[in-house]
């Protein structure tokens, strides 16, 4: 190995900023960009840590290259409808309206008809402008302000500069107020020249919005894109190629071991690979990342996250805890099966209810015939009694 001066060839945690850390997803990328350029709405759904934001940024980069005006907001930190309105306004100002920021008068003119007047700050050094709601507006109609902001987008559209806006962590809108997403359903018809991309995790919340014909705010609003795990063969190739770029190597078996330990969750695959690479750099005499480096990496990764896992576990009812451990430790095919019921010591009804609760929290899922814990690292933690203190 070339030693510790070589940067770690893997990346985890935040969205990937550089294409070298990004693999696969070619089809999804094409779907996203073509929709964004052609004024079509998209709903992108995936569990946490599958790579939504990374994919969205890559799509936005392509859209920019092709002359599109686009931007992204995340509702993750919003707690009120007013904050949603503010975040959207800032996102529009920074993203699709970005090219106007150097033209102060024109920039301000665009916001003139908003029902709550925003305040502008112009930076004489850069010529750039920023915008916010400054004074308190206790009785403002913030849903109306959201409508105003999205309407601004439609006016920005030009033939050679199609407008789009990505709203990441959209499920948060439903958590703030269950009917807040309805504002967007009503809006999409008003802004035919804009592509809105609604992205979200928390599958059950997104599913309610997307699939419920009667009450779903995103029902029939756009093309649904469900992000799956990255296929094992693609990820294995990626892991091995990156090991090479990092001055070492990785056998196919070792790469598969990483993928399996992570249950294929993209973030966790890269996290384990990152740590295994670190382990391997402790032994410069070795020419590869070995399976024992991977075992050590998994142990360390589980250890790092044990507080989070403990909190998740503590928040569950006893029957849910029992079922989660059972799924992690044994082969469970039927939740209401005799064997499962006997192991859990609860009624059929209680077991089914517990399973539904765990599914809603994205903790377990049915994978073919078997029930599995979604996170491979959580599964490892549940299997190890010493970790569960």
Ligand X SMILES: Nc1ncnc2c1ncn2[C@@H]1O[C@H](COP(=O)(O)OP(=O)(O)OP(=O)(O)O)[C@@H](O)[C@H]1O
CA distances from 85 to 27, 39, 114, 147, 255 (A): 32, 22, 11, 9, 45
| Total H helices, total E strands in the chain | 17, 9
Residue 17 token pair: 């900023």
Q: Which among ligand X, Mg ion, none contacts residue 266 (Cβ within 5 to 8 A by kind)?
A: ligand X
Tell me which of 13, 178, 245, 284 binds ligand X, using CB under 6 A: 13
Nearer to ligand X, 22 or 259 (CB): 22
CB of 53 to Mg ion, least distance (A): 3
CB of 218 to ligand X, least distance (A): 18
Stretch that binds ligand X, among 5-13, 185-193, 246-254, 363-371 (CB under 6 A): 5-13
Stretch that binds ligand X, among 41-49, 114-122, 173-181, 361-369 (CB under 6 A): 41-49
CB of 23 to Mg ion, least distance (A): 17
Check residue 171 for interaction with Mg ion (CB under 5 A).
no
Instruction: Report 254-283 residues binding ligand X (CB under 6 A).
Output: 266-267, 270
Check residue 281 for interaction with Mg ion (CB under 5 A).
no
**Dihedral, CA of residue 90, residue 91, residue 97 and residue 100, to nearest 10:** 40
Nearer to ligand X, 24 or 279 (CB): 24
Give Cα 209 distance to the centre of its chain.
Answer: 17
Sequence-distant (6+) residues with CB within 8 A of 288 are 243, 248, 249, 250, 251, 254, 280
Stretch that binds Mg ion, among 46-54, 82-90, 299-307, 379-387 (CB under 5 A): 46-54
Find tokens 């078996």 and name the residue: 253
Check residue 53 for interaction with Mg ion (CB under 5 A).
yes
> For the chain, first and last CA: distance in Å?
38
Q: Check if the beta carbon of residue 67 is closer than 8 Å to that of residue 33.
A: no
Instruction: Report 226-255 residues binding ligand X (CB under 6 A).
Output: 230
Residue 197 sits at the vertex; the CA angle it makes with 12 and 231, to the nearest 5 degrees, is: 45
CB of 71 to ligand X, least distance (A): 16
Instruction: Report 99-138 residues binding ligand X (CB under 6 A).
Output: none
Site string for ligand X, 186-215 (x = CB under 6 A): ---------------x--------------
Nearer to ligand X, 298 or 332 (CB): 298
Nearer to ligand X, 74 or 387 (CB): 74
Stretch that binds ligand X, among 42-50, 114-122, 341-349, 351-359 (CB under 6 A): 42-50
Sort 303 into a burial class: Cβ within 10 Å, 0-12 / 13-18 / 19+. exposed
Q: Which among ligand X, Mg ion, none contacts residue 25 (Cβ within 5 to 8 A by kind)?
A: ligand X
Nearer to ligand X, 74 or 348 (CB): 74
Q: Check if the beta carbon of residue 69 is closer than 8 Å to that of residue 161.
A: yes
Q: How far apart (Å, rounded) are the C-alpha atoms in residues 42 and 210?
A: 11
Q: Check if the beta carbon of residue 195 is closer than 8 Å to that of residue 202.
A: no
Stretch that binds ligand X, among 13-21, 64-72, 170-178, 348-356 (CB under 6 A): 13-21
Give the count of residues interacting with ligand X (CB under 6 A). 24
CB of 50 to Mg ion, least distance (A): 9
Q: How far apart (Å, rounded) are the C-alpha atoms in residues 342 and 359?
A: 21
Q: Check if the beta carbon of residue 305 is closer than 8 Å to that of residue 49.
A: no
Q: How far apart (Å, rounded) are the C-alpha atoms in residues 45 and 167?
A: 12
Q: Check if the beta carbon of residue 24 is closer than 8 Å to that of residue 230.
A: yes
CB of 48 to ligand X, least distance (A): 4
Q: Which residues bind Mg ion (CB under 5 A)?
A: 52-53
Q: Which positions lie near ligand X, rule CB under 6 A?
A: 11-16, 21-25, 46, 48-54, 201, 230, 266-267, 270
């Amino acid at each position: 190995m070339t030693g510790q001066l070589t940067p770690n060839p893997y990346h985890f945690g935040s969205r990937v900023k550089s294409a070298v850390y990004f693999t696969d997803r070619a089809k999804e990328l094409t779907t996203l960009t073509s929709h964004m350029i052609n004024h079509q709405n998209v709903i992108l759904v995936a569990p946490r840590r599958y790579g939504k934001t990374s994919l969205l940024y890559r799509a936005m980069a392509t859209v920019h290259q092709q002359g599109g005006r686009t931007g992204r907001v995340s509702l993750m930190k919003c707690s009120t409808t007013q904050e949603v309105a503010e975040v959207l306004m800032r996102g529009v100002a920074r993203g699709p309206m970005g090219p106007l920021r150097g033209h102060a008068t024109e920039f301000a003119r665009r916001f003139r008809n908003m029902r709550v007047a925003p305040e502008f700050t112009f930076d004489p050094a850069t010529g750039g402008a920023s915008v916010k709601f400054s004074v308190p507006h206790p009785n403002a109609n913030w849903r109306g302000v959201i409508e105003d902001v999205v309407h601004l987008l439609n006016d920005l559209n030009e033939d050679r500069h199609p407008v789009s806006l990505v709203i990441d962590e959209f499920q948060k809108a439903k958590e703030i107020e269950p009917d807040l997403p309805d504002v967007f359903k009503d809006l999409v018809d008003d802004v035919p020249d804009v592509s809105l991309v609604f992205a979200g995790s928390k599958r059950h919340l997104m599913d309610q919005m997307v699939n419920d014909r009667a009450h779903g705010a995103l029902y029939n609003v756009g093309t649904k894109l469900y992000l799956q795990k990255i296929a094992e063969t693609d990820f294995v190739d990626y892991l091995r190629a990156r090991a090479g770029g990092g001055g070492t190597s990785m056998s196919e078996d070792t790469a598969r071991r990483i993928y399996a330990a992570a249950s294929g969750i993209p973030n966790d695959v890269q996290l384990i690979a990152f740590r295994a690479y670190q382990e391997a750099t402790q032994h410069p005499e070795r020419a590869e990342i070995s399976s024992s480096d991977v075992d050590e990496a998994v142990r360390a990764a589980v250890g790092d996250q044990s507080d989070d896992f403990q909190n998740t576990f503590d928040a569950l009812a006893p029957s849910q805890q029992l079922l989660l451990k059972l799924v992690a430790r044994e082969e469970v095919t039927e939740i209401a099966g005799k064997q499962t019921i006997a192991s859990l010591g609860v009624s059929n009804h209680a077991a089914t209810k517990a399973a539904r609760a765990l599914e809603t929290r994205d903790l377990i899922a049915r994978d073919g015939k078997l029930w599995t814990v979604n996170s491979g690292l959580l599964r490892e933690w549940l299997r190890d009694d010493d970790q569960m203190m």
